[in-house]
Amino acid sequence: MRQIRYGLLAFLLSGGCVADVGSTGLAVAGDSDGDGDPDGSDCAPSDPAIHAGAPEICNHVDDNCDGTVDEPVGTVYCVGSEPRPGITEQCLDNVLVGRLALASNHCPVPGGGWDVRDLFTHGFETMAGRYCVYEHTTHNPGPGGLPPSDDGRAPMDWLQPDCPVMVGLGGSDSELASAAVWEEYYEGWLAQLEAESSLPSVVSAVDGPLPRTTHVAVLDTAPPNTGFTSPAPSGRGSASSHGAVMGHLIEALACPGGSGAVCNTEFTNHVALERLPDGSDERAEGGVIGTFSQVAAAIEEAVTVGSSARGGAPRILALSIGAEPGYEVLSDGSPRPSADALRRALDAAVCGYQALVFASAGNATGGPGASAGPMLPGAWASDVASCGEPLLYAVGAVDPSDQPLQLGRVGGMPELVAPGRSVAFDLDGAGPGNPTPLMTGTSFGPVAAAAAAAILWSYTPHWTASDVADHLYASAVPLSHLGAADFCAPGGSCGTVARISMCGALLEAAAEVCTRDPGATICGVTCTATRIGPGAGSPVVLSPGAIASLPPGGPNFSAASLVDAVSSPTCGAGTIMSDMSAIGPHPDLCPFEQYPSREAGPLGPQPPTGGCRVCALDPSSLTAVIFTNEESAHGTFYPPVLYTSSGDVVDLSSVLPSPLAYGTKYVIEDLPIDSGAEAAALSFIVTDGGDKWSTIEEIEIW
Average pLDDT, integer, range 689-696: 66
Look up residue 129 and give its DSSP letter.
-
Q: Which amino acid is at 245?
A: V
Q: Go through 191-221 and write b for each residue having 16 or more CB atoms within 10 A of its CB, e for each that does not.
A: bbbbbbeebeebebeebeebbbbbbbbbbbb
Q: What is the CA radius of gyration of the chain?
A: 27
pLDDT at 182: 81
* Whether the predicted pLDDT of 92 surpasses 50: yes
492: left (phi over 0), alpha (psi -120 to 50) or beta: left
370 vs 351, higher pLDDT: 351
* Whether the predicted pLDDT of 138 surpasses 80: yes
- In tens, the pLDDT along 31-43 reads 888 888 898 888 8
* Whether the predicted pLDDT of 560 surpasses 70: yes
CA–CA gap between residue 322 and residue 233 (Å, rounded): 23
pLDDT at 677: 84
Inter-residue contact 663 to 577 (CB < 8 Å): no
pLDDT level of residue 561 (50, 70, 90 thresholds): confident
Q: Is 636 exposed, middle or buried (0-12, 13-18, 19+ CB in 10 A)?
A: middle
CA–CA gap between residue 34 and residue 21 (Å, rounded): 19
pLDDT level of residue 642 (50, 70, 90 thresholds): confident
| Poorest-pLDDT segment among 81-95, 295-309, 513-527, 643-657 | 81-95
Strand partners for 76: 73, 577
CA–CA gap between residue 15 and residue 593 (Å, rounded): 7
pLDDT level of residue 284 (50, 70, 90 thresholds): low
Inter-residue contact 272 to 232 (CB < 8 Å): no
Average pLDDT, integer, range 12-19: 29
- What integer best gives the mean pLDDT of the chain? 79
CA–CA gap between residue 235 and residue 465 (Å, rounded): 32
356-360 and 315-319 beta bridge pairing: parallel
Average pLDDT, integer, range 669-694: 79
* Three-class secondary structure assignment of 295-311: HHHHHHHHHHHHHHHCC
Alpha helices in 94-193 (DSSP H): 125-128, 155-158, 175-192
Asked whether the bond before 108 is cis by omega within 30 degrees of 0, the reply is no
> In sequence order, what are the residues at sequence separation of 6 or more whose Cβ sits closer than 8 angstroms to the Cβ of residue 29?
38
CA–CA gap between residue 355 and residue 565 (Å, rounded): 57
Q: Is 33 exposed, middle or buried (0-12, 13-18, 19+ CB in 10 A)?
A: middle
CA–CA gap between residue 183 and residue 186 (Å, rounded): 5
- In tens, the pLDDT along 464-516 reads 999 999 999 999 999 999 999 999 988 778 999 999 999 999 999 999 999 99
* Whether the predicted pLDDT of 680 surpasses 50: yes
131-136 and 356-360 beta bridge pairing: unpaired
Its pTM stands at 0.80
247 vs 444, higher pLDDT: 444
pLDDT at 112: 92
Q: Go through 155-180 and write b for each residue having 16 or more CB atoms within 10 A of its CB, e for each that does not.
A: beebbbbbbbbbbbbbbbbbbbbbbb
CA–CA gap between residue 97 and residue 114 (Å, rounded): 12
pLDDT at 150: 92
CA–CA gap between residue 427 and residue 421 (Å, rounded): 18
- In tens, the pLDDT along 153-184 reads 999 999 999 988 777 776 554 455 667 778 88
Task: Name the E strands within 563-669.
Answer: 612-618, 623-628, 636-637, 641-644, 649-651, 665-669
Look up residue 638 and give its DSSP letter.
-
Average pLDDT, integer, range 103-116: 94
The SS3 call for residue 382 is: helix
Strand partners for 214: 265
245: left (phi over 0), alpha (psi -120 to 50) or beta: alpha
- How many CA atoms lie less than 13 Å away from 651 in the CB half-sphere? 10
* Whether the predicted pLDDT of 193 surpasses 80: yes
Q: Interior CA angle at 353 toward 270 and 346, to 5°?
A: 60
416-419 and 356-360 beta bridge pairing: unpaired
Phi/psi of residue 323, each to 5°? -140, 155
Neighbouring CB atoms inside 10 A of 332's CB total 5
Q: Which amino acid is at 379?
A: A
- In tens, the pLDDT along 526-547 reads 999 999 887 666 666 677 777 7
* Whether the predicted pLDDT of 306 surpasses 60: yes
- In tens, the pLDDT along 594-607 reads 555 554 444 454 44
